[in-house]
Structure 1
Amino acid sequence: MTSSEETPSFRLAYVPGVTPGKWVRIWNERLPDVPLTLVGVSAAEASDALRGRAADAGLVRLPIDRTALSAIPLYTETTVVVVPKDHVMATVDEVSAADLADDIVLHPLDDTLAWEQRPGRPAIERPATTADAVELVAAGVGLLVVPQSLARLHHRKDLTYRPVSDAPESGVALSWLEDETTDLVEEFIGIVRGRTVNSTRGRPKPPAQQPKSKRADASGARRKPAAGKTTGKSGSKTTGKSGGKSPRTGSGGPKAAKRGKPRRRP
């Protein structure tokens, strides 16, 4: 007989340049019985893949269409320009958008950088993908401005890259369907946010332990004073022996000395 319950699993979509390896490793350590499957998607397809339930959550590039989706920003990448190693820009540590004015700057169809005004001169045709644009840079057709992780992903020995100081940055976020914030999604949110295995989320904290109040003895009587000490009616402590005879008078206590009449001088 086949069980009606499905084996739990988790599908994580991710876009090019994002490296989920660290989070996947932590997931496998904490939830060894729940397999995590990686689903590679393009940046343009990421939001549709989540809405179409091709994945339970996704590591996406911002901005995305947030219709029916939740998103938690994770980090922001530096933007760089990819140039041939013999290009003049390879000799400096950093460039600005104005420095690109005289060069052809390629604009692939899968670009996610939100430019108000793109730098440089446009190419006659837009490359279909970032990978195609990198090949054109190597061929000397133009330059390419991308998030740093994409420059590393498409690294070539004949190319290098330099930061662009005033370019828009690329943000990476964890996204999922608003109506499907499952326990497994919450687990992955905790992992990417750095929660430890003992962390709790959404659970009420146990009430703080009240300090123990001073209680009287079970009999209701006051505590017995230490040996050699008595407590009077007023609560003050007296020391010394009580009830014994005075060594001089032999009575139970010292007697007051009698005062005689003063003698007259002759």
Structure 2
Amino acid sequence: MTGSDATPSFRLAYVPGVTPTKWVRIWNERLPDIPLTLVGVTAGEAFAALRAGEADAGFVRLPVDGADLSAIPLYTETTVVVVPKDHVVAAVEEVTTEDLADEIVLHPLDDVLGWETPPGKPAFERPATTADAVELVAAGIGVLVVPQSLARLHHRKDLTYRTVTDAPASRVALSWPEEKTTDMVEDFIGIVRGRTVNSSRGRQGAQPQPQQDRKAATAKKTGAKPRTPGKPAARSGGKPNARGAATPKRGKPRRGR
């Protein structure tokens, strides 16, 4: 099969914690003839996957590591600390990094918060992954500070989490190679930005209506009779005279009381 005969498809990468379900559903509704394939990647692999052409676009965690990639910031996540359910932190709604000063705070190698100096006491060895760190928390060996989506992703019945008010936050963005801003990438950008199917900025946007058609459509909605081009409108209070001006309507004079 030649390249021109190949069925077009769109490959969307996403990092752990991001749930692309809503955007995928809208894509499938608007572009049912173009299949969308999800490509799961780690936060550390995401940019390399985009550059290598393994995905057309992807949901990544900022910052983007190069000027060759475009990015649209989408949202900032809440940062939480994961602790056992019987931990003292579980008794409050939120904590600060100072409250964790006496805790062993696990700092996995795939950390996405970009700490300058992690809070608490360091563990003897850094866990390889966030999943490994969660297992250590469940075993009673320290606590873990992560974006809320990762705490939900690695949820366990014996663990809970609380907001850390002054910790760094992770921002999620849509990214793609600048030189490969294809029509399909533009379509997906429109979906993520919330543009409607008839948006004038989309490739499938509605064509502008001629002025006369717009007036006719407006008249149809309001029930008014559309004006014929070149014919002067009649004014209330009388009939138009030869010059097009309305003659005042004469009534019966009133008698004084």
Aligned residues of 2:190 and 2:202 also touching (Cα < 8 A)? no
2:184 alignment partner, SS class: helix
How many residues of Structure 1 are paired with residues of Structure 2 in the alignment?
A: 225
Q: Which amino acid aligns with 2:19?
A: T
The alpha carbon displacement at 1:118 in A equals 1.2
Separation (CA, whole Å) in 2 of partners of 1:208 and 1:132? 63
Q: Which amino acid aligns with 2:42?
A: S
Task: After TM superposition, list the pairs within 5 Å mapping 1:5-154 onto structure 2.
Answer: 5-154=5-154
The alpha carbon displacement at 1:209 in A equals 3.7
Distance 1:137 1:194, change over 3 A: same
* 1:165 corresponds to 2:165: yes
Separation (CA, whole Å) in 1 of partners of 2:188 and 2:3? 27
RMSD over aligned Cα atoms: 2.7
Structure 2: gaps spanning 5 or more residues: 216-226, 233-239, 251-257
The alpha carbon displacement at 1:172 in A equals 0.3
Q: Which amino acid aligns with 1:183?
A: D
Separation (CA, whole Å) in 1 of partners of 2:73 and 2:120? 30
* 1:224 corresponds to 2:242: yes
* Cα deviation digits, residues 149-191 of structure 1 (max 9, x gap): 0000000000000000001111000000000111100111111
Aligned residues of 2:77 and 2:149 also touching (Cα < 8 A)? yes
The alpha carbon displacement at 1:223 in A equals 4.7
Q: Which amino acid aligns with 2:33?
A: D
Separation (CA, whole Å) in 2 of partners of 1:55 and 1:2? 20
Structure 1: gaps spanning 5 or more residues: 230-236, 240-266
Which residue is equivalent to 1:193? 193
Separation (CA, whole Å) in 2 of partners of 1:50 and 1:169? 24
Separation (CA, whole Å) in 1 of partners of 2:22 and 2:86? 35
TM-score normalised by the chain length of structure 1: 0.77
Structure 1 stretches of 4+ with a deviation exceeding 4 A read 202-208, 214-217
Larger Rg: 1
The alpha carbon displacement at 1:53 in A equals 0.5
Separation (CA, whole Å) in 1 of partners of 2:62 and 2:83? 25
Which residue is equivalent to 1:234? none
Distance 1:216 1:79, change over 3 A: closer
Separation (CA, whole Å) in 2 of partners of 1:3 and 1:169? 43
Q: Which amino acid aligns with 1:115?
A: W
The alpha carbon displacement at 1:63 in A equals 1.6
Separation (CA, whole Å) in 2 of partners of 1:215 and 1:35? 52
Q: Which amino acid aligns with 1:224?
A: A
TM-score normalised by the chain length of structure 2: 0.80
Q: Which amino acid aligns with 1:101?
A: A
Separation (CA, whole Å) in 1 of partners of 2:37 and 2:94? 39
Q: Which amino acid aligns with 1:112?
A: V
